[in-house]
Amino acid sequence: MRTVLITLALILTATLLYAGSGNLIVGGMIGAGNNTNPNYSVDVIGDVNITGNYRINGVSLPSALTGAISGLMITNDATNPSTQIDVTANVIGTVIPSGTMGINCATSSLPAGNDLDRGTLAAGTWYYIWVIYNGTTMAGLASASSTSPTMPANYTNSYKRLIGAAKTATNAPLQFLVFVQQGNHFVYDTNQNVAYAYTAESWLTLSCSAFIPPVSTRGFFMVNMQTSTGGGTVRLSS
């Protein structure tokens, strides 16, 4: 009698367990590349929740200000709506703010933040709302830059995250337009005049870009149009 021995070899590069919801639970490392020099990069669409530390280019970073934002709302302050923006959130990454964080844009360059990053408010300008963290304290910051705000003195080596935007009026008095941002949805409190006193006898192209935050990817519009003719005024809505 001849005996045939069958050897079953299992080669596991990482312990992978797929959850029923479609999430991926990983014990070990995720590798993409060849076996001798793997590239441990993972491309993710959306937020990633991290417990503990992680590394970027070999540099260890804390998990604060990364991951999901819960219950985010940004709006004009009820008492000082012209110059102060209030940020409320349940959780931003692993940092939990206490109550509402006010960003007073009547001041700038304070070491503790919660103000304009530099200079003074300018008319008709988009200001980007940042959350900053120095390992101990979280603060807010408004900046005309959507990529590189000027960090306060106490936050030289801190971490930052862009969470929203607000715009100042183009005419006097200088103030923030009234708005509400919930999550990533930005809505004006009042109608904005895209065009006024135009005369046209053919199709006219009007740009709405001045009313949309430049970092936005799409906009929704409700059109309100009023025209005057020799016979009176006609108002159209859609």
Q: Render pLDDT for 164-175 as a digit per residue (tens, 0 to 9).
A: 999 999 887 889
User: Is 154 in contact with 111 (CB distance < 8 Å)?
Assistant: yes
25/44 same-domain check: yes
87/19 same-domain check: no
Domain total in the chain: 2
User: Is 53 in contact with 94 (CB distance < 8 Å)?
Assistant: no
Would you place residue 191 in the very low, low, confident or very high pLDDT band (cuts 50, 70, 90)?
confident
3-state secondary structure of 188: strand
53/76 same-domain check: no
**CATH number of the domain where residue 102 is located:** 2.80.20
Specify burial of residue 192 (Cβ count, 10 A radius: 0-12, 13-18, 19+). Answer: exposed
pLDDT over 80 (residue 114): yes
142/175 same-domain check: yes
Higher pLDDT, 219 or 79: 79
99/178 same-domain check: yes
The whole-angstrom distance between residue 163's C-alpha and the CA centroid of its chain comes to: 3
38/85 same-domain check: no
Residues 6+ apart with CB under 8 A from 124: 167, 168, 169, 170, 210
Condensed to tens digits (0 to 9), the pLDDT of residues 117-165 reads 999 999 999 999 999 988 888 899 999 999 999 999 889 777 889 999 9
Would you place residue 208 in the very low, low, confident or very high pLDDT band (cuts 50, 70, 90)?
confident
Residue with tokens 């110059």: 83
Residue 131 lies in a domain: yes
136/109 same-domain check: yes
Span 19-47, average pLDDT? 47
Would you place residue 55 in the very low, low, confident or very high pLDDT band (cuts 50, 70, 90)?
low
pTM assigned to the model:
0.67
pLDDT over 60 (residue 97): yes
Q: What length does the chain have?
A: 238
Higher pLDDT, 196 or 215: 215
pLDDT over 60 (residue 202): yes
Q: What is the pLDDT of residue 138?
A: 87
Would you place residue 38 in the very low, low, confident or very high pLDDT band (cuts 50, 70, 90)?
very low
Q: What is the pLDDT of residue 119?
A: 95
pLDDT over 80 (residue 206): no
Higher pLDDT, 158 or 177: 177
Span 4-23, average pLDDT? 43
Phi-psi region of 94 (alpha: psi -120 to 50; beta: other; left: phi over 0): alpha
pLDDT over 80 (residue 213): yes
Residues 6+ apart with CB under 8 A from 216: 186
The vertex-113 CA angle with 215 and 120, nearest 5°, equals: 70
Q: What is the pLDDT of residue 117?
A: 96
Q: Pairing state of beta strands 185-188 and 179-182?
A: antiparallel
Would you place residue 233 in the very low, low, confident or very high pLDDT band (cuts 50, 70, 90)?
low
Range of the domain at 135: 69-188
Residue 145 lies in a domain: yes
User: Is 186 in contact with 215 (CB distance < 8 Å)?
Assistant: no
Hey, what amino acid is at 63?
Answer: S
